RNA sequence: UGGGGCGUCGUCAAGCGGUAAGACACAAGACUUUGACUCUUGCAUUCGCAGGUUCGAAUCCUGCCGCCCCAGCCA
């Protein structure tokens, strides 16, 4: 392999390398700054892995966990808890560095007065509609507010009275005095503070005016000594305002904002606004529905932190708008689970098989490997008896070419058990196959034929008398369209929901060792895929397994030919 | 008709003037008590297009074309 080839470094790491080499910085300090207004999703995972990953890569570095909680009308404590839990679950640690933008409200306020005092900010009485009108359009410059030239004294007085609660919500704002004719709309005297009587999850009713993101973010970064402030592309236009803010305030340092492309995943949506809509309209069971691209959903589905981190490394980092193929995510979880998941046998759609020459009432405990490549994972015992279940798909009355499984007169191997041969097919009145009568070869115990006889197929099975019933949930992509955001006229992303994204199978039969499987423990159900017991709904006596991902299936492909 | 970005294989993504990395996907084959895993092999004469500079260009210049973001008192 290319073990000698240095892995290519992304543009952000190159910038950091230079800053370290030039002595601009001695360590790197990043931050992950979510707004607590929803659950984290796979797109956030990219940012988390980047920011916390950087802190781990560079000496003496750290990553701050910071909530951007400047809009109490949308934010909730439930979200901060879920976000913290998700970041931790992903495997990252902010140590002592947990912050809230709301911790800086006092400092932010003082800085605002400083801006007023230096003539860089003013109180504006225009209504929201008027502000929009005065802002101009993308192609036409805006015009200056009639309140733009108030005296420092008047501005200070008004701003203090805004804080004191003398004016109703929305009646006045504090604006930066920059340039109403700028081609960059963010620079057309952006609003810095608005009056908003909403109870804040941390500061309660202490404030009735709240700072805006564009004002809060650069200052929070500077106060924390952030060196590199990484955000997504849509904030590129905001960078001049980020810099303006820090240039006009006596802040301790001036972090560099760098933007990268957000992650988009095919056949799903990655936007809190849309995800919350799916939850609120009942299209999914909740934020942690296993079909959701949320961290908690993916987790419940059976993905591991290791797989998600590997995925985030593999997708790369650049400024191209991109839609990553779901196949990469699936590759990452298969790679991880193939290595670590114990194997087990589970029959999802049972077909009864009676082994006519096997003694009734007899039970054998056969030995099975927990992992074919890793003997250290040990062995277990699987009961075998006269009546077993096999997968309906593993039998065909009229098998096509290259079908290696069971068919009339054909012999296959029951994994870890015996060779059996199909002697008779039992059907019901409608002609549906309901049972198979087979014979077994006692000499093939364990699955090896002493006479060297070969069989093409090996199938999984479970002893009917010992099987444990389970419910199994098969998940598929949530949307039928690769980019649901790209909706046709008159439609929205929800018109592309996949009606078969969840198929619930009941009456599945699993081997007895699975009876007490712990939630989130990943298993490979041999020949089928990776599954885990649902952390919400599964319990002993009522097993519920989620299919995390299928195994690669080359038979599916040859079958189609 | 404004401002800011981006265009390299089906999907991500290296490359930054010296003659197209890698990964996923896909295809073919080997192995196999999971049609899994693993292994082997193949997969961009070409870098949005057109000119130009140069011995030499995906890389430099010019002009087009296409896509994304911005007009919240959201972040």
Averaged pLDDT score across all residues of chain A: 96
Mean pLDDT, residues A416-421: 98
User: Is A212 near strand B, with its CB below 7 A from some atom of it?
Assistant: yes
* A489 band by pLDDT with thresholds 50, 70 and 90: confident
- From residues 282-341 of A, which are strand B contacts by CB within 7 A? 314-325, 327-328, 330-331, 334-335, 338
Alpha helices of A281-397 — where are they, by DSSP H? 295-301, 305-314, 326-340
- The catalytic residue positions of A are 35, 262, 272
The ranges assigned to domains in chain A are: 11-260, 272-343+470-560, 349-460
pLDDT digits (tens, 9 = 90+) for A516-555: 999 999 999 999 999 999 999 999 999 999 999 999 999 9
CATH number for the domain formed by residue range(s) A272-343+470-560: 2.40.240.10
Contact assessment for residue A70 and residue A253, using Cβ atoms and an 8 Å cutoff: no
pLDDT score for A4: 44
CB A255 within 8 Å of CB A228:
yes
Q: What tens digit of pLDDT does each residue of A421-458 get?
A: 999 999 999 999 999 999 999 999 999 999 999 999 99
Enumerate residues 6+ apart whose C-beta is below 8 A from A151: none
pLDDT digits (tens, 9 = 90+) for A199-244: 999 999 999 999 999 999 999 999 999 999 999 999 999 999 999 9
Is the shortest CB-to-strand distance from A213 to strand B under 7 Å? Answer: yes
Question: Strand B: which positions are within 7 A of a protein CB?
Answer: 1-8, 10-16, 21-27, 33-38, 67-75
Give the CA-trace dihedral at A466, A472, A328, A284, to 10 degrees: -160
The CATH topology of domain A11-260 is Rossmann fold (3.40.50)
Each residue's pLDDT tens digit, A332-356: 999 999 999 999 999 999 999 999 9
pLDDT, greater one: A273 or A153: A153
Give the pLDDT of residue A559: 84
* Identical fold, A11-260 and A272-343+470-560: no
% of chain A exceeding 90 in pLDDT:
96
pLDDT at A8: 81
Indicate yes or no: strand B within 7 A of the C-beta of A262.
no
Within A212-255, strands assigned E span 228-232
Across A57-78, average pLDDT? 97
CA distance A211 to A209: 7
Asked if strand B comes closer than 7 Å to A269 Cβ, the answer is: no
Rounded Cα distance between A269 and A481, Å, is 10
Residue A496 pLDDT grade (very low, low, confident, very high; cuts 50, 70, 90):
very high
pLDDT value at residue A2: 33
Q: What is the tens place of the pLDDT at every residue in A367-389?
A: 999 999 999 999 999 999 999 99
A60-67 average pLDDT score = 98
Query: How is residue A421 written in tokens?
Result: 């041969």
Residue pointed to by tokens 């604006």: A175
pLDDT above 60: residue A30: yes
Q: Which two tokens stand for residue A79?
A: 């979200």
Q: Is the CB of A147 under 7 A from strand B?
A: no
> How far, rounded to the nearest angstrom, does the alpha carbon of residue A539 sit from its chain's CA centroid?
25
Query: Measured between alpha carbons, how far is A30 from A48 in angstroms, rounded to an integer?
Result: 10
- In this prediction, residue A558 has a pLDDT band, given cuts at 50, 70 and 90, of confident
- List the one residue out of A248, A504, A511 whose CA is nearest residue A380: A511
Average pLDDT over residues A464-474: 98
Q: What is the mean pLDDT of residues A240-250?
A: 98
Q: Please report the pLDDT score of residue A1 as a whole number.
A: 30
Per-residue CB contacts under 7 A with strand B, chain A residues 114-133: 126-128, 131-132
Residue A561 has pLDDT above 80, yes or no: no
**Beta-carbon contacts of residue A393 (< 8 Å; ≥ 6 apart):** A349, A405
- Does the pLDDT value for residue A256 go beyond 50? yes
- Structure confidence at residue A7 as a pLDDT band (50, 70, 90): low
- The confidence band for A557, taking pLDDT boundaries of 50, 70 and 90, is confident
The residue to which tokens 């979880």 are assigned:
A333
What is the fold of A349-460? Ribosomal Protein L25; Chain P (2.40.240)
The nucleotide lying nearest A403 (C-alpha to C1') is B35
Instruction: Quote the percentage of chain A above a pLDDT of 70.
Output: 99
Q: What is the arithmetic mean of pLDDT over A303-327?
A: 97
Please check whether strand B approaches the CB of A539 to within 7 Å: no
């Amino acid at each position: 392999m290319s073990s000698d080839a240095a892995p290519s470094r992304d543009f952000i790491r190159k910038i950091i390398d230079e800053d370290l080499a030039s002595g601009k910085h001695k360590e790197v300090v990043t931050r992950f700054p979510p707004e607590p207004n929803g659950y984290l999703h796979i797109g956030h995972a990219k940012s988390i892995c980047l920011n916390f990953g950087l802190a781990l890569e560079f000496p003496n570095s750290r990553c701050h966990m910071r909530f951007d909680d400047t809009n109490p009308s949308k934010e909730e404590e439930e979200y901060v808890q879920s976000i913290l839990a998700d970041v931790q679950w992903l495997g990252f640690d902010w140590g002592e560095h947990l912050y809230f933008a709301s911790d800086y409200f006092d400092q932010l306020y003082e800085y605002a007065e400083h801006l007023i005092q230096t003539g860089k900010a003013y109180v504006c009485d225009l209504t929201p509609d008027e502000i929009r009108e005065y802002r101009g359009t993308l192609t036409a410059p805006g015009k200056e507010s009639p309140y733009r030239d108030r005296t420092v004294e008047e501005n200070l007085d008004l701003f203090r009275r805004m804080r004191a609660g003398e004016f109703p919500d929305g009646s006045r704002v504090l604006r930066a005095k920059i340039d109403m004719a700028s081609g960059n709309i963010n620079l057309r005297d952006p609003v810095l503070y608005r009056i908003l009587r909403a109870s804040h999850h941390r500061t309660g009713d202490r404030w009735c005016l709240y700072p805006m993101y564009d004002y809060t973010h650069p200052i929070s970064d500077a106060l924390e000594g952030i060196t590199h402030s990484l955000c997504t592309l849509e904030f590129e236009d905001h960078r001049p305002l980020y810099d303006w803010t820090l240039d006009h305030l006596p802040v301790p340092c001036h972090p560099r904002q760098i933007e990268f492309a957000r992650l988009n995943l095919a056949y799903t949506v990655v936007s809190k606004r849309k995800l919350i809509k799916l939850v609120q309209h009942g299209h999914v069971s909740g934020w942690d529905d296993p079909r959701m691209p949320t961290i908690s959903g993916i987790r419940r589905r059976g993905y591991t932190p290791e797989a998600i981190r590997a995925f985030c490394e593999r997708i790369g980092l650049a400024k191209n708008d991109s839609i990553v193929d779901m196949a990469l995510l699936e590759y990452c979880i298969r790679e991880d689970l193939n290595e670590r998941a114990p194997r087990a046998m589970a029959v999802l759609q049972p077909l009864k098989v009676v082994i006519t020459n096997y003694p009734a009432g007899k039970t054998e405990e056969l030995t099975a490997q927990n992992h074919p490549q890793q003997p250290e994972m040990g062995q277990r015992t699987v009961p075998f008896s006269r009546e077993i279940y096999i997968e309906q798909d593993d039998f065909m009355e009229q098998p096509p070419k290259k079908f290696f499984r069971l068919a009339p007169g054909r012999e296959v191997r029951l994994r870890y058990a015996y060779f059996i041969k199909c002697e008779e097919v039992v059907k019901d009145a409608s002609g549906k196959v309901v049972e198979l009568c087979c014979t077994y070869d006692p000499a093939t115990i364990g699955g090896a034929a002493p006479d060297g006889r070969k069989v093409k197929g090996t199938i999984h099975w479970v002893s009917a008398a010992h099987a444990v019933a389970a419910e199994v949930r098969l998940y598929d992509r949530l949307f039928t369209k690769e980019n649901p955001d790209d909706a046709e006229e008159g439609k929205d992303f929800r018109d592309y929901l996949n009606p078969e994204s969840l198929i619930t199978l009941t009456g599945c039969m699993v081997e007895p060792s699975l009876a007490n499987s712990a939630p989130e423990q990943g298993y490979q159900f041999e020949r089928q895929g990776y599954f885990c017991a649902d952390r919400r709904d599964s319990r002993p006596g009522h097993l519920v397994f989620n299919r995390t991902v299928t195994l690669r299936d080359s038979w599916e492909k040859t079958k189609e030919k």
